[in-house]
Amino acid sequence: MIHAIGTDLVELERIKSIGIDRFKDKILNEDEKNEYAKINHENRKLTYLAGRFAVKESLFKCFKAGDKTANYKDFSVLNDNVGAPYVLSKHTTDFVVHITISHTNLYAIAFVVLETKV
């Protein structure tokens, strides 16, 4: 059963204006920073950050009635062996989390569905 949905659209230019390194330190946890460090292309680093931010904002929208203590680093948005994103977090243990991330030259978007475990 679907518990909640969330979506977020991120302007890549907004992240650039904040500063990629500053933004990285604000939203990525250690597992994500390890993956980020393997990226060589600057534009791919930007879309990686924007996509992770969009997923985390989407998750916060799903938890709108939650305890409000979660922060960006509480969620790991990683990729499986075929590149599909997935989420690890103590806040999602009661749910199956379905996510998708997409990018253009200007934006990144994420869509999240929280499904109650049966």
Which positions ≥6 away from 10 have C-beta within 8 Å?
Answer: 50, 51, 53, 54, 57, 107, 108, 109
What does each C-alpha distance from 114 to 38, 81, 87, 109 come to in angstroms? 29, 22, 11, 17
Active-site choice (26, 45, 61, 98):
61
Is residue 98 part of the annotated active site? The answer reads no
The set of catalytic residues is: 61, 103
